[in-house]
Amino acid sequence: MTWALDHLDDIATRAVQHAWLAGLPLVIGLVVALPLGWLAARRPGWRAGLLTTTGLLYTIPSLALFILLPPLLGTKILDPVNVVVAMSVYTVALLTRTVADGLSSVDSSTQQAAVAMGYGPFARFRSVDLPLAVPVIAAGLRVAAVSNVSIVSVASLIGVSQLGYFLTDGYARTFPTEVWVGIVACLLLALAFDVVIQLVSRVLTPWTRAVPA
Amino acid sequence: MTFAQVWAWFTDPANWQGTDGVPNRVLEHLVYTGLTLLFALVVAVPLGAWVGHTGRMRWLVTGANAARAVPTLGLLFAVSMIVGPLIQSDLAFVIPSIAVLVLLAIPPLLSGTYAGIDSVEPAARDAARGMGMTGWQVFSRVEAPCALPLFLSGLRSATLQVIATATIAASVSLGGLGRYLIDGLASQDYVQMVCGSILVALLALVADGVLALVERYAVSPGISGRASRVPRSRTTGRSGDRTTDPDPSSDSTGADRPDPDPRQAAATGSGSTGPVRATASTGNPSERDRT
């Protein structure tokens, strides 16, 4: 406990780095997964292909991906960009399926009503399908967020600075307190992501809280 | 680092012999993965089946899922530091690592088994009882076959998790393919790291592919949707995508159907994706863990 208090500054700095490395990919991943999921939901023929491809990406172990990306991207191994790209890949892999499922779950009578009211394909996606799919997409984002926070800590093995540093450093120095501080900090960060996503999802879907008449 | 260097590493006979050779490292990785899954299955399957069958103690599944938020690297280091010194033999590094791997493999297996049993239509259960089946028969003949797709997707996700984490466990001195990554890092041998990463990625892809095949052929045709290819389905009734099928009358028990259900045709398309898709709506075993 004293150790944690003495190192609050260091913990805070690394927590912010960790939050960026885990959070930025969530945004990038969502932006990429939306059109992919939309395609998968719209064209059943593409669905299997798209979901299998993204599923394969998710199969690659993270440490391997962190190491394989630098030669592919032309970056240095210590470059945090590798971590952001790797996490974005995983996020896309998780979210494409969720987005497709969310969009497919929209009631077809709702969609037909929107078409009858004169919504074009894009307008319908933006104002009808997407908002209705928010709860499902948010559920997927929560999973992706928790998994990202955990995986980012692995990047400390290749020397990228974030909360995982406390894990590797504590182990190297045989200092369990530091490892526990790292674990608790990761858990708190994951919890923070979870709460934020749930709040945003609540704000975006006021109708789910409507009082039944 | 060039492609030629990677190629040279793979074609160097020295990298294919002895303890540090590719065959031995792959074998080690497979042995760790197999052992871990065996232990985890022994714990998770009876427990998940019991929770799903009786509906009691569901908090076990919720709790196991919440525990997934613990960073695997931290768990690995913490357990190695606590357990490692207690063991006096060469196994001091192996036992803690395997213990952590088992801990990580349990949640996906537990929730896969539970969600599978839990998603069985109550009508199917009632029909089985009505036919005079005992509790054990209901479980082994109705619930277990219906639960298989979700269980297998839990198994796939556990396998990937274990393969990935066993790689990281090289940093606490476990053998396996992770050695190339960790030793390469220590000696700044980037080529070796890249080659090790390629091997790990390949191993994960192959393991997942094998399990996907198992999933395809082990699941009863009536459940996976393959039955519709057969003109007359003997074993089971209905549609492929069970849990997305809102029809409560959908039965999966024996009843001989003279005519193939028309909806089966619609369900065939989702054949292989069926089980995984189903998971997304029932629980989270398909939300694959990653490390």
Residue B257: which H helix or E strand, with range?
Answer: none
Per-residue pLDDT of chain B (291 residues; tens, 9 = 90+): 678 888 888 888 888 888 888 899 999 999 999 999 999 999 999 999 888 888 888 888 888 877 778 888 888 888 888 887 777 776 777 888 888 899 889 999 999 999 898 888 888 888 998 999 988 888 888 888 888 989 998 999 899 989 988 998 888 878 889 899 889 888 888 889 889 999 999 999 999 999 989 988 888 787 777 666 555 444 444 444 444 433 333 333 333 333 333 333 333 333 333 333 333 333 343 445 555
A209 inside domain = no
A110-153 pLDDT, tens digit per residue, is: 999 999 999 998 899 889 999 999 999 999 999 899 989 998 99
B101 is a domain residue: yes
Q: A63 and B168 in contact by Cβ < 8 A?
A: yes
Check: CB of residue B170 under 8 Å from CB of residue B181: yes
Q: Which of A105, A136, A154 is nearest to B284 (CA)?
A: A136
- Expressed as residue numbers, the domain containing B85 is 3-245+252-282
Asked whether the CA dihedral A204, A206, A208, A209 is positive or negative, the reply is positive
Domain containing residue A102: CATH number:
1.10.3720.10
Domain contains A154: yes
Would residue A144 count as lying in a domain? yes
CATH number at residue B39: 1.10.3720.10
User: Has the ipTM of the complex gone over 0.85?
Assistant: no
**Can you tell me the distance from the alpha carbon of A112 to that of A12, in angstroms, rounded to the nearest whole number?**
50
The verdict on a CB contact (< 8 Å) between B272 and A187 is no
- Whether B110 and B61 have beta carbons less than 8 Å apart is answered as yes
Structural domain harbouring A36: 2-204
Chain B within 8 Å of A90 (Cβ-Cβ)? yes
Q: Is residue B289 in a domain? A: no
Say how far apart CA B242 and CA B99 lie, in whole Å. 35
CB contact under 8 A, A94 and B68: no
SS3 at position A168: helix
Which of B45, B60, B68, B42 has its CA nearest to residue B165? B68
Instruction: Note whether residue A212 is domain-resident.
Output: no
Does any domain span residue A210? no
B 163-192 near A (Cβ less than 8 A): 163-164, 167-168, 171-172, 178, 181-182, 185, 190
A73 touches chain B (CB under 8 A): no
Look at chain B and report how many structural domains it folds into.
1
Which token pair is A28?
């990038």
Q: In Å, how far are B142, B247, B262 from B232, measured between CA atoms?
A: 20, 21, 12
- What six digits make up the tokens of A131? 């908002």
Query: In whole angstroms, what separates CA A210 from the centre of its chain?
Result: 29
Residue B287 lies in a domain: no
Q: Which chain B residues touch A150 with a CB distance below 8 Å?
A: 68-72, 290-291
Cα separation, A19 vs B220, in Å, equals 45
Please give the Cα distance from B227 to B235 (Å, whole number).
Answer: 9
How distant, in Å, are the alpha carbons of B72, B104, B144, B251 from that of B128?
42, 35, 13, 10
d(CA B92, CA B76): 13
From chain A, the residues in CB contact with B163 under 8 A are 61
- Nearest-angstrom CA–CA distance, B71 and B93: 19
Inside any domain, residue B290? no
Q: Rounded to two decimals, what is the model's pTM? A: 0.78
- Asked, for residue A54, whether it belongs to a domain, the answer is yes
Within a domain: A83: yes
Structural domain count, chain A: 1
Q: What are A59-99's pLDDT values in tens digits?
A: 888 888 988 898 888 888 888 899 999 999 999 999 998 99
Residue B68 belongs to some domain of the structure: yes
Q: Is B143 part of a structural domain of the chain?
A: yes
